[in-house]
Amino acid sequence: MTTTETRSKGAGARIEPRSFRGVLVPALTPFTADGSPDRATFVSFCAWLLDQGANGLAVFGTTSEANSLSLTERMSLLEHLVDNGIPAGTLMPGTGACSVPEAVQLTKGALAAGAGGVLVLPPFYYKNVSEDGVFAYYAEVIERVGESALRLYLYHIPQMSGVAITPPIISRLVSAYGPVIAGLKDSSGGWENTERLLREFPDLAIFPASERFLLAGLENGAAGCISATANFQVQRIRQLIETPDGDGRARLNEEAGRVRAIFEKYPLIPALKAVAAHRFGRDSWRIVRPPLRELTDAQRRELIDALGAESRAG
């Protein structure tokens, strides 16, 4: 992954529409017992994910409970990561918000921190909005940010946001803003949409949101994946990307799929946090903000047992 290009500014900036590649982790956000973000643990977790092989960190995504954080918390945590040694170029923070002024403020903050790109949700309060309205939101954010160095990744997750980022919207944005529209994370959950986007937008860096579609994605030109369960198995996913076709690769792919299937039996974010608490020996890792709730003790034991059995089998 190279991100230096995206930070150079002005007309002479070299265009590198695929600066992010590989496995990006939508890093979990740890909280302390009083409910505030646990800044120190967040830094060490991000450093650990990079050590384990993460190509980038899509901090402040859905899995990060970004929308359960205040704007101030998001901006301050991002600065804290960079100030404490997390390379800014590896970061693709979520900077979407329902309001244009807040999306602009978050995006400017990410650029100022040196982030390699930003992952931007559509405004997600109003439903049944027009494609023209979604285009207008992104257009206004991009123009108010006013930086040709901006590399914006569209965040398509209609089952959560209620607002789809359709091919006509993407086409119109690419026509209007060229390399500023760098890519898209497809969390729609099906291969069909990803496959269509890869075919229609070969110049965008398309990231399916699950390692389940990683191999098919890579074969069809995907840039990698941005997967919630990479919080648990980033090393395996990175290995999978780097292993040439053959027996070892198929085995890794099956293992990754089995692990994902285990997590998918539970509410995903509380499950990932429960496992992080177990792995790092820190109970506060389990804390989620409302409306999410922690796993029950029984769920937690069952999940950890299932992952242990899988690991012994693997």
Which of the ranges 39-47, 83-91, 116-124, 188-196 carries the binding residues for its own copies, by CB under 8 A? 116-124
Alpha-carbon gap, residue 27 to 6, rounded angstroms: 22
Active site residue 177: no
Residue of the chain from 99, 200, 251, 311 that contacts its own copies (CB under 8 A) = 99
**Cβ 278 to its own copies shortest distance, Å:** 22
The amino acid that residue 215 corresponds to is: L
**Would you give the binding string for its own copies spanning residues 129-168, x where CB under 8 A is met?**
xx-xxx-xx-xx------------------xxxxx-----
Question: In this chain, which stretch among 1-9, 43-51, 66-74, 226-234 interacts with its own copies, using CB under 8 A?
Answer: 66-74
Q: Given candidates 8, 40, 85, 125, which one binds its own copies under the rule CB under 8 A?
A: 125
Q: What is the DSSP letter of 34?
A: T
User: How far apart are the C-alpha atoms of 259 and 78, rounded to whole Å?
Assistant: 29
Known active-site residue 62: yes
Q: How far is the CB of 177 from its own copies (least distance, A)?
A: 15
For the CB of residue 98, give the shortest distance to its own copies in the complex, in Å: 4
Give the sheet arrangement for strand 56-57, strand by strand: 56-57, 22-25, 224-226
CA–CA separation, 223 and 20 (whole Å): 7
Q: Is 127 a catalytic residue?
A: no
* CA 27, 251, 208, 187 torsion-angle sign: negative
Output 29 or 253, the one with its CB closest to its own copies: 29
Per CB under 8 A, 231 contacts its own copies: no
- Check 32, 125, 126, 296 and give the catalytic one: 125
* C-beta of residue 23 within 8 angstroms of C-beta of residue 54: yes
Gap between the Cα atoms of 139 and 133, Å rounded: 10
Contacts of 255 (CB under 8 A, 6+ apart): 236, 310, 314
Catalytic pick from 6, 62, 63, 95? 62
What tokens were used for 302?
């069952």
Residues of the shown chain interacting with its own copies in the complex, contacts defined by CB under 8 A: 35, 62, 67-73, 98-102, 105, 122-127, 129-130, 132-134, 136-137, 139-140, 159-163, 289-293
